[in-house]
Amino acid sequence: MPDADGGEAGLLVVKASFCLSTGRLAAAESQCQVKMLPKHVPIADLPLSDAQFRLLGDRAKQTILWEDHDLSPPKPNFNLLVQATVTVPPGGAGDYVTAGLKVGNKTVGVKVFGPRYRLQGLLGKELKRLDGAAAEVPLNYAFSGGEGSLLETPDNKEQELSLLPWFEPIVQPGAEVLLHEYFGLSHCPVGAAHRRKFAGTYDEQWKSERAPLLPEDFDRRFWNDASPTLQWPDPLVAGTSIRMANLSRVPLVVGTVPSMTWRVKGYDDVGKLQCDVRLRNDTLLLEPDADRMTFTWRALFSKGPAGGLPKRLLIEALA
């Protein structure tokens, strides 16, 4: 892949999946593969209730980003992603389930609702829940109500019915959370506000002087695809505790970050050492229903003294 200046660079991506709840370094039965392309899923294929589909209407014909590809340069921050679905039992319009996770000293919580909406009545908009039915709510950006989601519809007085987000962040006292920056617990699309502001300027000058390279004002923070609330400046250290509540069929899932790093040596055609680096751990994907956590390490290799990329790589796991 090209580097920032158009030169040739090599990208190495290593992924490893472990059992989430064992509390030790145990490989998961099913390993996550390196994804070459993003995965989009039709909303119609999700296990939503009839009430949820009725409220979505034509929106249910769309597809949403479910998992992003892995072919990005090393991310400047450590990104935590959670693929989870919360079950909301039957109830009233104001009823919700509290779910969330605690990683180390950081806590992120959400209120998860059933299929609710506001209906224009004689005395203004009234909060209602369709049929009071149970619902399965994926904690995906598409249902968060933030910018770019399917439920972005504002509470417009001119509209008879306004959809409301299926989940909302629990805001701690004194904290400021902008709704358009909140995109759930899983992958955020490239159009998310907190990613888009780092994408750079794609104007006529860029087209004539720099394309197809990235703009000069492109910021590497664009590659951070987790919600801003689920980013750390450095990788999580081994032994960091992970606690998830109501994010799976098991009410409480407890795990620990294992100790593992990767060392990579690159050699040229004649066996001469060109590079010796440790990969950066920049992403953790939690899948509580699968009892699995997957780490992703990345490294970017530039040309060596002889003007070429390494021809052979030796990868060593350091537990």
**CA-to-CA distance for 88 and 97, rounded, in angstroms?**
6
What are the angstrom distances between the C-alpha of 101 and each of 81, 107, 237?
A: 11, 6, 17
Whether the per-residue pLDDT at 59 is higher than 70: the answer is: yes
Mean pLDDT (whole number) for 284-308: 84
Q: What is the pLDDT of residue 180?
A: 43
State yes or no: pLDDT of 262 exceeds 80.
Answer: yes
For residue 306, name the pLDDT band (cuts at 50, 70, 90). low
DSSP state of 311: S
* 49 pLDDT more than 90: no
**Residue 44 DSSP symbol:** G
Which tens digits make up the pLDDT trace of 224-242? 999 888 999 999 998 899 9
Could you tell me if residue 307 is left (phi over 0), alpha (psi between -120 and 50 degrees) or otherwise beta?
left
Model confidence pTM above 0.85: yes
- Of the two residues 145 and 121, the one the predictor is more confident about is 145
State yes or no: pLDDT of 155 exceeds 70: no
- What whole-number distance in Å separates Cα of residue 300 and Cα of residue 9? 7
Task: Print burial letters for 59-96: b (CB count within 10 Å at least 16), e (below 16).
Answer: bbeeebbbbbebebbbbbbbbbbbbbbbebeebebeeb
| pLDDT for residue 56 | 87
| pLDDT at position 282 | 95
For residue range 182-223, what is the model confidence (pLDDT) as tens digits? 567 899 888 888 888 999 999 999 999 998 889 999 999 999
Q: What is the DSSP letter of 8?
A: B
